[in-house]
Amino acid sequence: MRCVVERKFKLNPIACSFELAKEVNGRIQLFPFGWFYPQDGREGAFYVGDSNGYQLADEINQLGIELMIDYEHQTLFIAENGKGNPAAGWIVRAEYISGEGLFADVRWTSKAATEIKDGVYRYISPLFLADASGTVIKVLNAALTNRPALHNLAEAVAMSAQFSHFLEPNEDKTKMKELLIKLFGLSAQATDDEITTKLTALSAAKGDSQVALSDVYAELAKEQGQVVALTAKVNNPDPAKFVALSDLQAVQTELNQIKQQMNDKERDALIQ
């Protein structure tokens, strides 16, 4: 079993791959019982048990349509590569069995059934959402695959018209990025590389800068309520003082009042 984990959203899109039995009998195991772990060195563990397994099966069975099994998660990449999206099979019923895991009865296409028997495809890869604790909360679809380690799943899911509405952006990371954009006077569309460039430049010039680098990090490390307060102030400037220099001085004054320091490890992580 192998999993790919993305952490850009509060509900993380995950793809795990489980080896298929070559005997195509119409039933596959989507998830084992209990905790399961990535085997490719990635962090994280995921859970299916009595607390969520029955609900996962019920949600699949109550969809009103059969859940599609595609090839190589092509459903996620239609907009990107423009290729077709043939079905390998359809999940006609799901069943959770306590102590064993979540299973699905599948009606394979004749082509997919032959490919599984002949070993053309080796893995079944359910795509699912998990919360921060690793608990599986929703099955999106599944795929036949020979690539247990897929990349950029979060971006692919976000671009997919079928699944994007399931994702909730990670507000903490979003707010931190917004704050950095305001602090450095960047455009709202600034990329991570542009922000990193500004941080690196500030690090190099910190000896001459009126804004101590450690104060910038301390500002980012404040409690969320304080960050929101500063953001609100920047978003609602006094028209009488709507001058770039005064804005900068106001931010510098507030930053210089902050005493919290971050350790070298955290500092290096932000600069990188």
pLDDT of residue 102: 94
My answer on whether 160 and 179 are in the same domain is no
Count of CB atoms situated within 10 Å of the CB of 246: 13
150 pLDDT higher than 50: no
pLDDT of residue 175: 61
**Of residues 158 and 68, more confidently modeled:** 68
My answer on whether 22 and 154 are in the same domain is yes
Residues 76/36, Cβ–Cβ less than 8 Å: no
My answer on whether 16 and 138 are in the same domain is yes
Q: How far apart are CA 255 and CA 216, in angstroms?
A: 7
What distance lies between CA 71 and its chain's CA centroid?
21
Report in angstroms the alpha-carbon separations of 138 from 16, 76, 148, 167: 13, 16, 20, 11
In the listed set 152, 169, 186, which residue is the last one of a domain according to the structure?
169
My answer on whether 115 and 243 are in the same domain is no
**Of residues 198 and 128, more confidently modeled:** 128
My answer on whether 90 and 159 are in the same domain is yes
Per-residue H/E/C for the chain: CEEEECCCECCEEEEEEEECCCCCCCEEEEEECEEECCCCCCCCCEEECHHHHHHHHHHHHCCCCCEEEEECCHHHHHHHHCCCCCCCEEEEEEEEECCCEEEEEEEECHHHHHHHHCCCCCEEEEEEEECCCCEEEEEEEEEEECCCCCCCHHHHHHHCCCCHHHCCECHHHHHHHHHHHHHHCCCCCCCHHHHHHHHHHHHHCCCCCCCCHHHHHHHHHCCHHHHHHHHHHHHCCCHHHCCHHHHHHHHHHHHHCCCCCCCHHHHHHHHC
My answer on whether 124 and 191 are in the same domain is no
- Maximum mean pLDDT: which of 187-191, 205-209, 217-221: 187-191
My answer on whether 161 and 259 are in the same domain is no
195 pLDDT higher than 60: yes
What is the number of domains present in the chain?
A: 2
In the listed set 169, 193, 223, which residue is the last one of a domain according to the structure?
169
Q: How far apart are CA 250 and CA 259, in angstroms?
A: 17
60 pLDDT higher than 70: yes
Residues 76/160, Cβ–Cβ less than 8 Å: yes
142 pLDDT higher than 80: yes
In the listed set 104, 138, 169, which residue is the last one of a domain according to the structure?
169
My answer on whether 139 and 23 are in the same domain is yes
My answer on whether 108 and 90 are in the same domain is yes
Count of CB atoms situated within 10 Å of the CB of 98: 10
My answer on whether 206 and 144 are in the same domain is no
My answer on whether 201 and 221 are in the same domain is yes
Query: Please, which residues have CB within 8 angstroms of residue 142's CB and are 6 or more apart in sequence?
Result: 30, 67, 69, 70, 91, 104, 124, 125, 126, 127
187 pLDDT higher than 60: yes
My answer on whether 221 and 197 are in the same domain is yes
Q: How far apart are CA 15 and CA 126, in angstroms?
A: 6
Domain coverage including residue 86: 2-169
Question: What pairs with residue 93 in β-bridges?
Answer: 105
| Mean pLDDT (whole number) for 168-173 | 51
Report in angstroms the alpha-carbon separations of 70 from 84, 109, 112, 145, 268: 10, 11, 10, 9, 42
Token code pair at residue 194: 């542009």
